[in-house]
Amino acid sequence: MQLRQEQTGDWWEVEALFDLCFAPGREALSSYRLRDGVPPVAELCLVAPSIDNVLGGIGGAIRFWPIRVGGAEALLLGPVAVHPTRQGEGLGALLIQAGLEKAASLGWSRVLLVGDAPYYSRFGFAKADGVEMPPPTNPERVLIHALTDGAWDGVRGPVTAAA
């Protein structure tokens, strides 16, 4: 499976995939307030082409946004989604691993997401004590991962938009 960087023309197809995969009203979530008016990190927005092209061109997608945590630079992972007919084949893991590896190669050291620990712990994410997402966010779902040793040491406080 060859992942490729999302292109400008992919935007609405990726949005349609997210609409299909997430509950209605996803853009009301507090994580979206961190994305308002801030472009994603283009090099880290990846798409997995659908194999047979029957579903349209895209079988899965991931985006990352720059954020700040207590003033320190970090990445917000997500949204990430895989078409319902392609879930459970490892595509989500492929997108996440590739995104994290590329982020490390570009010099990023901290990644945060809001999601299910039972899924994301396999990629090294763990609950973030002292990291305050804008409400309403369940603190149990705020997870962090260090791409370099000790990157989160002493980094605590409010999560804010990068701009």
Q: With respect to ligand COA, which residue has the nearer C-beta, 28 or 153?
A: 28
Q: Which residues bind ligand COA (CB under 6 A)?
A: 21-22, 78, 80-82, 87-93, 115-116, 118-119
Cβ distance to ligand COA smaller for residue 116 or 163: 116
Q: Considering the complex, what minimum distance in angstroms separates the CB of residue 114 from ligand COA?
A: 7
CB of 153 to ligand COA, least distance (A): 25
Supply the minimum distance, in Å, between the C-beta of residue 52 and ligand COA.
Answer: 17
Closest-CA residue to 142 (of 125, 154, 123, 157): 125
Closest distance between ligand COA and the C-beta of residue 59, in Å? 9
Residue with tokens 């092209």: 53
DSSP string, 71-90: TEEEEEEEEEEE-GGGTTSS
Residue nearest to ligand COA (CB): 92
- Assess contact for 69 and 112: CB atoms under 8 A: yes
| Strand partners for 132 | 158
117 and 125 in contact (C-beta within 8 Å)? Answer: yes
Query: What own/partner pairs with CB < 8 Å and gap ≥ 24 does 23-28 have?
Result: 26/79
By beta-carbon proximity to ligand COA, the closer residue of 11 and 119 is: 119
Nearer to ligand COA, 7 or 121 (CB): 121
